[in-house]
Structures are given as C-alpha cells and as structure tokens.
Amino acid sequence: MECDVAGGNYDPFWVGFPCVDIHRCISPDILHQLYQGVLKHLIGWVQEVMGEDELDARIRCLPPACGVRHFKDGISKLAQVSGTERKHIARILLSCLVGKIDSEGIKACRSLLSFIHLAQYSSHDEETLRYLQEELDNWHNYRSYFIRKDIREDFNIPKFHSLLHYIESIRWLGTTDNYNTEMFERLHIDFAKEGWKASNKRDHFPQMVKWLSRQEKIASYDFYRSWLDESESNDAGRQLILAKYPAESKKSLAQILISHAAPGFLAHLKLFLNAFLPLGRRVPDQLALAGTLPFTQLDVWHRYKFSPSNLFDDDLDGIHETVKAIPVSRRSHIPRFDTLIVMVGDDAQSTALDGTSSQAESNLPPTHDCYSERFS
C-alpha cells in the first residue's frame, strides 16, 4: 500500500531535466503555508501547553480595539477558521501567553509571528532579509521548548521546512505579494461567484464573460475619473465617515475634559485652530495656548469609519475600520478609547513605527471625540 500513498512517487517527471531546481518551482504562500499551516500548528501547540480553556479565557478578557477582532467566545470553538480570522488571532496570541508559558516558549512563538509579518513586506532589501533570517534562527534555537513539553517529537513538517526557502525565493522571485494565493482566492469571488449570481443560471458562461467585460469597462472609467480628480485630493479614498447626528450634542468643554479623561484636549484644540489661520494672523504657540476659545460647547461623535491603507496597497477587500472613543455613560459602564498610529511622514511604513505619530498629535478635526489624548 505504501506505493499507492499520495506523495509516494520517487521518480518524478523532472528528474531528467538538467536545469531544474524543484525548490525554485515551489513559491512561498503566505495564506496556506504561514497562516493556515505554521500558525495553525503553533496555536494547537500553545493550547496543549496552557490548555484551551485558559487561552480562551485570556482572549475573552482582551479589550476591544480598532483593527482587531474581539473573540468573545474564544477560539477553540471556531470551525473552518478562515485566513482572515487567523490573522486576527496572530495579532493577539503573544499577549495571551505571558505568565503561562516559559520565556523560552514565548521567544519561540514571537520568532514565528515576527517571521510571518516580515515575510509580508511589500519591499525588501538585505537588511529586512537579515531580519527574516534572525527570526528563523531564533525559532530553531528555542523550538526545543515544545519537545521538552512533550508536545512534539520532531518538526519534520513540510510547511515548517518551507520557511528555509523564503529568503532565497524572495531574492529569486521578488516579494511574496507577487505570488500569494490569497489574492487569487479573493478574485475568485469577483470573477466566478459574482458573475454566476448575475446570470440566469442557464447558458451561464457567455453571460459571465459579458458581465466581467462590463465590470472591467466600469473599472477603467472609474480609474479615468479618479485620474482627472486626483488634483483635488490625494486622500479622497481615505475620507472619514461620520454619523449624520453626533452622539452628544453641544457638550461643554469642561465635561469633555472629565468624561474623556483628556486634560490636554483644550491645548491641542487651540494649536489646531491656530494652524488653520492665515499666515499673517497666526500667533506663536505660547500665545495660542494662553488665549481663550470663542465657544464653550462642541458636538461630539463617539466613532467614525475610515479605510486604512492595505499592506499590499490594494483595495480588494474594501476594508473599513471603526474607531471608537466611548466614555462612561448610562448605556456603557466601561469606557473604550482605541489607539491609533497615524502616518505623518514619507518615510513611514504600514509595518513599522518610523515616520508615524499618535492621533492626538495629528491635524484631525477637533470636533471628533477621537482627538482625545487617550488615543496615543
């Protein structure tokens, strides 16, 4: 029976090809190798070490935050976990291990999580590839923790072996966003499922082709219009979306300072308004801070939506994030103030902190609740 097992062919077709390097024919795959492979194994090992119930309890205790899914029932009961769900788990996993797993185990987990994030960079140089190699070396140095805990006897897992070829593949083929299957799986929805839904389910192929052709023409026209309107605003696609009416109308400045725990709000508000004055009417920051405001009340919104920059600089997913700054009230006894990191310089990257600033330091409208200093 061993001869009939899948993968039991020891005379593959490429043996006689003198210039074939089979390792270069298999490109890395972030979705299936890292998230649905390496991370899936890592989560299972962690659950065995600290227990599923303990990990679920810690995940449930995490406060809700912008950009991170809140697993109110934990993760052990999830069925058919998608790649998006594993990405959210990867963001919170390390914080749930402190105090229950030895430092060596935490270092092993951190190295794999860092490797997964570094492998997704949309641009690489020798320095970032060195970071990848360092994290891979750290994993090999600390992975024996899981053997000592009797979780594993070895790490002869094909998807873990594939990590050894990532750096070479990036040098050979470019960054991993060029060949990540996640993009094609997402396009399958647009090119197949949506086209099928638009047909009458009879003789559907010509109808799907015509539907796709029309979609491409509309997309081309939209691109042309956006090119014409580019001079108006470079951030047209990143605009904020607010509710029609504020959550709190005409709230006094004194109440804002207390309920939102934002003692520096007035200072930031004065500097913000001073920056909008014509150059001839602006005053030094010290004079602006010493001055008084011509109003004593503001309309306050507790949340807004925006479209964050995608790691791969595309809008395939149409992601919209909701930022919340909700003080204590009769309806909510637990306040929530999300943390934002805003790009303010050309050297900023969506995967690093260089060239970024807290939202409290950026020029966002002061009438937004989210301008509170709690957003740091």
pLDDT tens sequence across 87-118: 999 999 999 999 899 999 999 999 999 999 99
Q: What CA–CA distance (Å, rounded) separates 114 from 139?
A: 10
Same-domain status, 36 and 172? yes
In the prediction, which pLDDT does 1 show?
A: 44
Residues listed for the chain:
376
The reply to whether 376 falls in a domain is no
Same-domain status, 57 and 165? yes
- Residue-wise pLDDT for 106-154, tens only, equals 999 999 999 999 999 989 999 999 999 999 999 999 999 999 999 999 9
pLDDT band at 230 (very low <50, low <70, confident <90, very high): low
- Residue-wise pLDDT for 319-332, tens only, equals 678 888 888 887 77
Largest CA distance in the chain: 87
State CA 145 to chain mean position distance: 29
- Residue-wise pLDDT for 179-228, tens only, equals 888 777 767 777 788 888 888 888 888 998 898 899 889 989 888 888 87
Same-domain status, 11 and 121? yes
In the prediction, which pLDDT does 363 show?
A: 37
Query: Over 90: is that where the pLDDT of 56 sits?
Result: yes
Tell me the residue range of the domain where 329 lies.
Answer: 237-371
Same-domain status, 173 and 213? no
Same-domain status, 133 and 30? yes
pTM equals 0.63
Same-domain status, 140 and 269? no
Q: 330: number of CA atoms within 13 Å, CB side? A: 1
The total of structural domains in the chain comes to 3
pLDDT band at 315 (very low <50, low <70, confident <90, very high): very low
Burial per residue of 269-282, b for 16 or more beta-carbon CB atoms within 10 angstroms, e otherwise? bbebebeeeeeeee
